[in-house]
């Protein structure tokens, strides 16, 4: 495993995401992911599976300090009086006294960003959260969050895959010492079917999915979330540390980006994208 260091956080570069994973899938698949070697687990309040994740981690026998655990506060709990109790609920479900990283899940909210950031900082001060970050932020919002926060902002979790150019956000994040955490790396099933990625994979004895995960984590300050409910793909997704892409391959993959490449953009939650 390689790690990304960002504003004091030491984050495994490859994480296991649990978006759209019902409890039964978490119970079946997450133990196998941990056994394979995953130590970065990503969940969220809105996923509805924090308790299932907590059950697996508690039963795993892996020391809590060896797991990097992320969850996210949903937008209806951003107010100061709601955020703290909601995180207490998350900690109970996750069967832990802290999370390693707490994110604001989406930016659109009637609650001011100043109040949201104040709530995150209070949780850091209380020892319930080790690090804080944001998700689905544009460059301007990232800068504002950094300005408002006493504790360092360590990541912006965003949609990022070969079809979506995130150069602007990556550059801004690096200027603040932040990492970028990529979700939807498989572009909703498009990546495995991409001829270029298959061809590059064939040179390395790897799949298109492995090539894409490698492309992500080979970039400075980028963390990739992999997600699967298929047992056979867990080891495949983890086997991305034994090869590297050359500069020409990295550039060719980046050139797949297209203006309509974004997949996730709910109007009531999303910012004006860069």
Q: Is 184 a catalytic residue?
A: no
Distance of CA 79 to the CA centre of its chain: 23
Helix (H) or strand (E) holding 141: helix 139-148
DSSP state of 152: P
Q: Are residues 253 and 222 in contact, defined by beta-carbon separation less than 8 angstroms?
A: no
Two structure tokens written together for 255:
């050139």
Residues 6+ positions from 139 with CB-CB distance below 8 Å: 168, 169, 172, 274
Q: From the DSSP assignment, how many helices (H) and strands (E) are in the chain? A: 10, 10
Q: Tell me how far apart the alpha carbons of residues 265 and 268 are, in angstroms, rounded to a whole number.
A: 9
Pick from 153, 73, 137, 157: nearest CA to 271: 137
98 is in an annotated binding site: no
Q: Tell me how far apart the alpha carbons of residues 4 and 37 are, in angstroms, rounded to a whole number.
A: 17
Q: Tell me how far apart the alpha carbons of residues 133 and 41 are, in angstroms, rounded to a whole number.
A: 15
The tally of CA atoms less than 13 A away on the side-chain side of residue 63 is: 2
The tally of CA atoms less than 13 A away on the side-chain side of residue 147 is: 8
Q: Tell me how far apart the alpha carbons of residues 168 and 86 are, in angstroms, rounded to a whole number.
A: 33
Known binding residues: 105
Known binding residues for substrate: 105
Active site amino acids: 47
């Amino acid at each position: 495993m390689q790690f990304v260091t960002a504003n004091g956080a030491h984050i495994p570069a490859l994480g296991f995401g649990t978006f759209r994973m019902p409890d039964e899938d978490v119970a079946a698949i997450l133990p196998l992911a941990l056994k394979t070697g995953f130590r970065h687990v990503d969940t969220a309040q809105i996923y509805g599976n924090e308790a299932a994740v907590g059950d697996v981690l508690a039963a795993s026998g892996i020391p809590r300090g060896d797991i990097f655990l992320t969850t996210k506060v949903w937008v209806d709990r951003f107010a100061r009086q709601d955020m703290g109790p909601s995180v207490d609920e998350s900690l109970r479900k996750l069967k832990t006294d802290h999370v390693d990283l707490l994110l604001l899940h989406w930016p659109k909210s009637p609650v001011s960003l100043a109040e949201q950031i104040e709530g995150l900082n209070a949780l850091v001060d209380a020892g319930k959260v080790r690090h804080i970050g944001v998700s689905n932020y544009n460059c301007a919002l990232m800068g504002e969050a950094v300005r408002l926060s006493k504790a360092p902002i360590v990541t912006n979790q965003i949609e990022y895959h070969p079809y979506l150019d995130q150069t602007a956000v990556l550059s801004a994040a690096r200027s603040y010492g932040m990492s970028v955490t990529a979700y939807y790396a498989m572009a909703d099933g498009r990546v495995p079917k991409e001829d270029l990625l298959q061809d590059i994979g064939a040179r390395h004895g790897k799949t298109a999915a492995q090539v894409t995960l490698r492309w992500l984590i080979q970039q400075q300050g980028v963390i990739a979330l992999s997600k699967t409910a298929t047992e056979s793909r867990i080891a495949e997704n983890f086997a991305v540390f034994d090869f590297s892409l050359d500069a020409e391959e990295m550039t060719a993959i980046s050139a797949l980006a297209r203006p309509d490449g974004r997949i996730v953009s709910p109007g009531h939650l999303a910012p004006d994208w860069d």
